[in-house]
Amino acid sequence: MVKSRIYYTKPSITELEVEYATDAARNGWGERCYQYINRFEETFKQHLRVKYAIATSSCTGALHMGMSALGIGLGDEVILADTNWIATAAPIVHLGAKPVFVDILPDTWCIDPDLAEAAITPRTKAIIAVHLYGNLCNMDRLLKIGSKYNIPIIEDSAEAIGSVYHGKRAGSMGTFGSFSFHGTKTLTTGEGGMFVTNDPELYETVLTLSNHGRSKKQTKQFWPDIIGFKYKMSNIQAAIGCAQMERIEELVARKRGILRFYKERLEVLPDVSMNPESEGTINGAWMPTVVFGKKTGITREKLQTFFNAENIDARVFFHPLSSLSMFEDKRENVNAWDIPTRAINLPSYHDLSKDNIESIVNIVKKFI
């Protein structure tokens, strides 16, 4: 048994983050109240190579405002993969629209483009491409579908900072992209998110929505132009984000190194697969995930019990959204319903030692 518990994730915080956050707490008020926010947005859009970025309180907020700005509302439909966290589906419901869940591909665990196209109806107003666990959706195919039917393709890149699709960073290819900086993510601000786009009109609308509906062109004090939201990031959070952006290459490289270590030792085992990285792509490796073949008889429940007995955290693969009580079952989404039952997320925080990873690998082998 591992002596001290190995957690599945925790952030990488150095003295640089502490220094910037302290400065924001001491001095980031009055005229400097947006200093770190503006700096964070600027460095993030440069990293992503997009024209516009808006720091938000969460990725969910970024999705909510982006879809609202696209005019998605009552009676509309938005297509997305059945495998994901509720955060992607909730804003659709909040807007009065209907999430339409389609199955995932068996190798990338991302949305099946053919099924997404087949699900399009006159009510379809968007397709969301969720880059699950750092794995990349087939963006070429999805963007062609979007162009063919004049439907926006939205990128939920909450888990895909550091992922690159044929030279383009995740989140930079769709009508808009969204990111999460939750404490579990590769780049963190504790809580927080980012909305990004290359569309100037969409940017201006979301910027207005993000601040109670007050346009930046409005000269009257406390005069909202539309009903908006309150999804702004704080200056202190942004200060941490600025420090993390200075370390972004290091943070992503470490996550990729951990995934590579796991893959080299586990994918040689029979009926074991992990996060894929197809030709021309880079997997940001947010969450190393191992899927066991059906023949092994290994289940999620057995894995959790075994890992817990060894004093190791193991996070479950996302349940199918259609299995939740607030939605209707879609058991025809066979991959989304099957894969989570024999898969597990492995520990992958930045400070995880080589010995810890070796212990985890040996425990998986022992379990098999």
**241 shares a domain with 330:** no
% of the chain at pLDDT higher than 90 = 96
- Per-position DSSP letters for 173-203, written without gaps between them: SSSEEEEE-BTTSSS--BS-EEEEES-HHHH
What's the CA dihedral at 66, 54, 239, 36 to 10 degrees?
-160
Q: Is 265 exposed, middle or buried (0-12, 13-18, 19+ CB in 10 A)?
A: middle
Distance CA 122, CA 139 (A): 22
List the domain range (segments joined by +) for residue 260.
248-367
Confidence of residue 2 (pLDDT cuts 50, 70, 90): low
pLDDT tens-digit readout, 279-318: 999 999 999 999 999 999 999 999 999 999 999 998 999 9
Number of alpha carbons in the 13 Å side-chain half-sphere of residue 302: 13
pLDDT tens-digit readout, 66-86: 999 999 999 999 999 999 999
What tokens appear for 356 in the block?
């810890």
pTM of the model: 0.96
Please tell me the predicted confidence (pLDDT) of residue 209: 97
**294 shares a domain with 189:** no
Structure letter (DSSP) for residue 133: G
Please tell me the predicted confidence (pLDDT) of residue 27: 97
**311 shares a domain with 179:** no
Give how far the C-alpha of residue 160 lies from the chain's centroid of Cα atoms, to the nearest Å.
5
**131 shares a domain with 78:** yes
Residue 212 lies inside a defined structural domain of this protein:
yes
Please tell me the predicted confidence (pLDDT) of residue 368: 84
**66 shares a domain with 121:** yes
Residues 6+ apart with CB under 8 A from 163: 131, 134, 135, 136, 157, 169, 170, 281, 282, 283, 284
137 in Cβ contact with 130 (< 8 Å): yes
pLDDT tens-digit readout, 92-105: 999 999 999 999 99
Q: Looking at the predicted structure, is the pLDDT value of residue 367 above 90?
A: no
Report the CATH number at residue 221: 3.40.640.10
Please tell me the predicted confidence (pLDDT) of residue 118: 98
Residue 7 lies inside a defined structural domain of this protein:
no
Residue 146 lies inside a defined structural domain of this protein:
yes
pLDDT tens-digit readout, 184-241: 999 999 999 999 999 999 999 999 999 999 998 889 999 999 999 999 999 999 999 9
**36 shares a domain with 88:** yes
Please tell me the predicted confidence (pLDDT) of residue 216: 87
pLDDT tens-digit readout, 309-347: 999 998 999 999 999 999 999 999 999 999 999 999 999
pLDDT tens-digit readout, 159-180: 999 999 999 999 999 999 999 9
Q: Is 279 exposed, middle or buried (0-12, 13-18, 19+ CB in 10 A)?
A: exposed
Please tell me the predicted confidence (pLDDT) of residue 116: 98
Please tell me the predicted confidence (pLDDT) of residue 1: 62
**110 shares a domain with 215:** yes
Total domain count, the chain: 2
Please tell me the predicted confidence (pLDDT) of residue 148: 98
Last residue in a domain, options 209, 230, 246: 246
Instruction: Report which of 51, 87, 41 is spatially closest to residue 67, judged by C-alpha positions.
Output: 87
Please tell me the predicted confidence (pLDDT) of residue 314: 86
% of the chain at pLDDT higher than 70 = 99
Last residue in a domain, options 219, 246, 273: 246
Confidence of residue 4 (pLDDT cuts 50, 70, 90): confident
Average pLDDT for the chain? 96
